[in-house]
Amino acid sequence: MKAVFLTLLLGLVCAAQEAPAQPESPEITGNWYTIYMAANNKEKIEEGGPLRTYFRQFECIDNCEKMSITFIVTHYDSCTLLTVVAQRAEGNVYHVDFMGKNSVQLIPVSESMLVFYAENFDGEKTTKLTYALGKGDSLSQEDIQKYEEINNERGIPNENTEDGAQTDNCPK
């Protein structure tokens, strides 16, 4: 009897530890704007850095098997709008080439915040990055706290955070 109970208990514990649910199309598709960005290699996201990007839009394609990502890169005072299509690899991870090889994960945090997490390999070094994306130009204190927790979990120092909302001078 104890063996049956322990087996049942073990089954319940394992079921409770399922992988996080994959984001649904309505959670992701739409306009999203960079509020904050952080990286373990901060020079990649500083002014003039190759991964300082200002997101504009995400669109699920083929039931989110592909993800269209529209964003702006800046060089001095010019804004260049780009769109790339990421391919789902497994689970909630997408692969896309931009300034190297990228593994990307979209993390819905709340109705008004999405975290874009990427690991970029530029041929020499892997950089971990997060972008706190919002529907407007600011986030709630609760969303900011969740963003900082996500950075901590991924080994990205919160002191490496840049304010994207204050430096995004490109057309929305």
If you average pLDDT over residues 65-76, what whole number do you get? 91
Check residue 1 and give its pLDDT: 40
Confirm or reject CATH 3.20.20.70 for domain 28-161, answering yes or no. Answer: no
Look up the pTM and report it.
0.84
End-to-end CA distance of the chain: give it in Å, rounded.
64
CA 76 to each of CA 52, 80, 99, 164: distance values in angstroms, whole numbers, following the listed order: 12, 11, 18, 15
Instruction: Indicate the pLDDT class of residue 81, thresholds 50, 70 and 90.
Output: very high
Q: Where are the domains of the chain?
A: 28-161
- Alpha-carbon distance of 60 to 67, in angstroms, equals 5
Model confidence pLDDT, tens digit, residues 10-46: 343 333 333 344 555 667 899 999 999 999 999 999 9
Model confidence pLDDT, tens digit, residues 94-139: 999 999 999 999 999 999 999 999 999 999 999 999 999 999 889 9
